[in-house]
C-alpha cells in the first residue's frame, strides 16, 4: 500500500473510492514509517559527522603531541599503528580520570603512543634474578635501626640533596639511575656539595650487571667498592642510552665521589622510614600500566606482581586529606608524573609497602 502513500494520489483515490478508508489508514501508517526512517537516517548522519569530527580532533591532538615531543615515525604504517595506540591510551586516560574516585590522575606524556607492554619492556630494568648470585661481603648491619624519632615529613630536594630529573631513555638502566641518585644524595648530605654523577660509568664498566638489559643497585655499589669506590661526574662521562666499552679515559684520575660501603634496609616500611629520614634510598617497585601513564596525586592503584623497576625515594609526607605517601624520584624525564616525581601511598597495610617499595631497599655510605 506504500506505493499509494503520496498525498495527491491518495486524494484522487479518495474521490473514486470514498468508502475505502483503509487507503487513508495505509497512508498514515506509511507516513509514520517514512518519518521514523527519516529520523533514523538523520541521527545516523549526525552521529557519523560527530564521530568524524572526534577522529579529526584526535588526529590533530596526535600531530601536536608529535611536534611537542619531537616524535618521528619511519613510515605511514608505523604512524598509523602509533596513532591507534595513542588514541587507545587517550581514551583510557580520560575514562579513568572521569571516574574521579582515585587519589591520583593519569596524564598524557611522551610515552603515550606506546603500549604498556612496550613501555615496561624498554623503560624499566630491575633484574631481581641477579640477587640470588649477589655477594654480601660489603653489607653491614642497618645503622638506622635504632632511630626512634623521625620528622613528620621529609623532602631531600629542599636540602639541595637531589639533582635534576634525568631520563634513562630506551634502555633498562633504571638500576644505575637509582644507585646514582642515592650516591648523589649521600655525598651532598655529608659534604654540602651536590654533584651530578655518571650513570654511564655504571652502565659501561659494571660487568656484574647487564647494562640496558637490567641490573641491581647493590651490584652497582659493589662494582664501585671493588674498584676503589670512586664514580666520576655526569659531565665527564655523559649518558648515552646504550651500553658501550668502559672508557678509562673518561674516568678521571681522582673520582668525584667515593663510597665507603653500602647497606641493605630490612624489609618493611618502618625501616624504610628510618632510612629515608636520614638520606635518599634506592628501592625497587612493581610498575604496571598505570605507572606508564601516571600524571599526579598519590598512587594507590594496581601494581606489577613483581619488582621490575628501580627508583630513588627522596622523602615522605602526608597529604592535606591525611593520606601518607612516599616521594619518589624517577628516571623517565620531566613530562612523566609530577615533573618527573611520583607520590606512592604509604602505610596502607601491605607487606613490603605498596607496589613492594619497601621490600628491596639499599643505600651507599660515603
Tens digit of each residue's pLDDT, the chain (366 residues): 444 444 444 444 344 444 454 555 655 666 666 666 666 656 554 544 444 545 668 999 999 999 999 999 999 999 999 999 999 999 999 999 998 889 999 999 999 999 999 999 999 999 998 875 555 444 567 999 999 999 999 999 999 999 999 999 999 999 999 999 999 999 999 999 999 999 999 999 999 999 999 999 999 999 999 999 999 999 999 999 999 999 988 887 779 999 999 999 999 999 999 999 999 999 999 999 889 999 999 999 999 999 999 999 999 999 999 999 999 999 999 999 999 999 999 999 999 999 999 999 999 999
pLDDT computed for residue 130 by the predictor: 85
Nearest to 365 by CA among 297, 275, 285, 295: 275
Contact (CB, 8 A) for 105 and 97: yes
Supply 27's cell numbers: 497512508
The 3-state secondary structure of 229-274, one letter per residue: CEECECCCCCCCCCCCCCCCCCCCCCCCEECCEEEEECCCHHHHHH
pLDDT computed for residue 138 by the predictor: 46
**β-pair partners for 365:** 261
Contact (CB, 8 A) for 292 and 283: no
Q: Give CA separation, 55 vs 50, 61, 69, 151, in Å.
A: 9, 10, 21, 51
Taking the CA atoms of residue 215, residue 216, residue 220 and residue 222 in that order, the dihedral angle to the nearest 10 degrees is: -130
**β-pair partners for 364:** 262
Hey, how many other C-beta atoms are within 10 angstroms of the C-beta on 29?
13
Hey, how many other C-beta atoms are within 10 angstroms of the C-beta on 79?
17
Nearest to 293 by CA among 346, 342, 327, 328: 342
What is the distance between the alpha carbons of residues 237 and 231, in angstroms, rounded to a whole number? 10
List b or e across 240-266, with b for residues whose CB sees 16 or more CB atoms inside 10 angstroms.
Answer: eeebeeeeeebbeeebbbebebbbbbb
Supply 56's cell numbers: 579529526
Rg (the chain; Cα; Å): 30
Residue 118 phi/psi, 5-degree rounding, is: -65, -45
Q: Give CA separation, 48 vs 38, 45, 55, 119, 328, in Å.
A: 15, 5, 10, 34, 45
What is the distance between the alpha carbons of residues 49 and 53, in angstroms, rounded to a whole number? 6
CATH annotation of 104-365: 3.90.70.10
Supply 25's cell numbers: 489508514
Supply 291's cell numbers: 605507572
| Catalytic residue set | 174, 309, 330
Contact (CB, 8 A) for 200 and 238: yes
Q: Give CA separation, 236 vs 170, 200, 324, in Å.
A: 22, 10, 39
**β-pair partners for 329:** 312, 341
Judged by DSSP in three states, 197 sits in strand
Longest CA span, the chain: 115
Domain segments of the chain as ranges: 2-60, 104-365
Judged by DSSP in three states, 128 sits in helix
Hey, how many other C-beta atoms are within 10 angstroms of the C-beta on 140?
11
What is the distance between the alpha carbons of residues 181 and 319, in angstroms, rounded to a whole number? 25
pLDDT computed for residue 364 by the predictor: 97
Amino acid at each position: 500500500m506504500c506505493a499509494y502513500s503520496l498525498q495527491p494520489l491518495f486524494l484522487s483515490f479518495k474521490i473514486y473510492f470514498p468508502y475505502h478508508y483503509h487507503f487513508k489508514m495505509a497512508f498514515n501508517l506509511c507516513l509514520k514509517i517514512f518519518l521514523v526512517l527519516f529520523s533514523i537516517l538523520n541521527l545516523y548522519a549526525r552521529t557519523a559527522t560527530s564521530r568524524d569530527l572526534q577522529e579529526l580532533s584526535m588526529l590533530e591532538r596526535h600531530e601536536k603531541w608529535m611536534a611537542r615531543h619531537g616524535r618521528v615515525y619511519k613510515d605511514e604504517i608505523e604512524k598509523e599503528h602509533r596513532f591507534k595506540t595513542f588514541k587507545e591510551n587517550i581514551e583510557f586516560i580520560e575514562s579513568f580520570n572521569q571516574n574521579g574516585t582515585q587519589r591520583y590522575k593519569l596524564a598524557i606524556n611522551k610515552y603515550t603512543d606506546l603500549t604498556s607492554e612496550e613501555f615496561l619492556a624498554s623503560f624499566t630494568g630491575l633484574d631481581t634474578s641477579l640477587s640470588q648470585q649477589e655477594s654480601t661481603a660489603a653489607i653491614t648491619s642497618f645503622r638506622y635501626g635504632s632511630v626512634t624519632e623521625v620528622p613528620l615529613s621529609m623532602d631531600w630536594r629542599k636540602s639541595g640533596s637531589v639533582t635534576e630529573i634525568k631520563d634513562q631513555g630506551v634502555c633498562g638502566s633504571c638500576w644505575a639511575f637509582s644507585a646514582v641518585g642515592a650516591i648523589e644524595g649521600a655525598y651532598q648530605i655529608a659534604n654540602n656539595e651536590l654533584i651530578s654523577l655518571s650513570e654511564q660509568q655504571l652502565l659501561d664498566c659494571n660487568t656484574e650487571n647487564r647494562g640496558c638489559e637490567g641490573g641491581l643497585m647493590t651490584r652497582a655499589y659493589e662494582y664501585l667498592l671493588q674498584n676503589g669506590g670512586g664514580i666520576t661526574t655526569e659531565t665527564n662521562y655523559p649518558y648515552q642510552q646504550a651500553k658501550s666499552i668502559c672508557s678509562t679515559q673518561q674516568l678521571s684520575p681522582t673520582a668525584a665521589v667515593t663510597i665507603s660501603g653500602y647497606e641493605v634496609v630490612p624489609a618493611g616500611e618502618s625501616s624504610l622510614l628510618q632510612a629515608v629520614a636520614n638520606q635518599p634510598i634506592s628501592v625497587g617497585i612493581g610498575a604496571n600500566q598505570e605507572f606508564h601513564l601516571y600524571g599526579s596525586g598519590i598512587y594507590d592503584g594496581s601494581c606489577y606482581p613483581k619488582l621490575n623497576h628501580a627508583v630513588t625515594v627522596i622523602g615522605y609526607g602526608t597529604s592535606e586529606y591525611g593520606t601518607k605517601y612516599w616521594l619518589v624520584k624517577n628516571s623517565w624525564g620531566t613530562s612523566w608524573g609530577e615533573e618527573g616525581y611520583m607520590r606512592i601511598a604509604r602505610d596502607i597495610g601491605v607487606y613490603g609497602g605498596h607496589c613492594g617499595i619497601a621490600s628491596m631497599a639499599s643505600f651507599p655510605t660515603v
